[in-house]
């Protein structure tokens, strides 16, 4: 069942159009979500609560490696996608390989674009596009002390 939430870009566009036709507000966020932790769960739940449907853009393995370095991701894209799809508050998971999620954002045309409060609206990729369509760009508070990088460092030093 949860695997059916992992869709192609074309399927995401069609589903977004159907939800939009029903009057549902679409929320979009993106990330690597490597080694899922409380910070991820809290962030995604808050993002979902800003609208009716949450579409999650997930970086491919190659994309994560380009961003985080050759030892990442720790968890492969299929496993990360399944983990994200298993969350009740995530409605669709779409993999993207581009350097930024801008093309995906432009394709699904969300009403609300969300990132953590470690970003500002000015630094959020796709903000201009969403705002230009009359949408909103929101930042949500992150749970202090949680990051995959910090978790990996703790594992490396402790074990």
The CATH number of the domain holding residue 39 is: 3.40.50.620
Q: Please, which pLDDT band fits residue 26 given cuts at 50, 70 and 90?
A: very high
Q: Give CA separation, 146 vs 1, 10, 76, 125, 149, in Å.
A: 29, 33, 20, 23, 9
Average pLDDT of the residues in 112-137: 97
pLDDT at 119: 94
Average pLDDT of the residues in 25-30: 98
Q: How many domains does the chain have?
A: 1
pLDDT at 5: 98
What domain range is 39 assigned to? Answer: 2-158
């Amino acid at each position: 069942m949860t695997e059916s939430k992992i869709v192609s870009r074309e399927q995401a566009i069609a589903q977004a159009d159907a939800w939009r036709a029903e009057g549902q507000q679409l929320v979009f966020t993106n990330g690597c979500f490597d080694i899922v932790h409380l910070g991820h769960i809290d962030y995604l739940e808050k993002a979902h609560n800003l609208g009716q449907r949450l579409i999650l853009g997930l970086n491919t393995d190659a994309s994560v490696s380009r961003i985080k370095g050759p030892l990442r991701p720790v968890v492969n894209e299929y496993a990360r996608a399944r983990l994200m799809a298993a969350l009740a508050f995530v409605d669709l998971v779409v993999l993207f390989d581009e350097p930024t999620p801008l093309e995906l954002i432009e394709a699904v045309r969300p009403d609300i674009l969300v990132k953590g409060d470690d970003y500002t609206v000015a630094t959020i990729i796709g903000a201009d596009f969403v705002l230009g369509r009359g949408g909103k760009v929101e930042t949500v508070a992150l749970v202090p002390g949680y990051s995959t990088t910090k978790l990996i460092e703790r594992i490396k030093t402790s074990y």
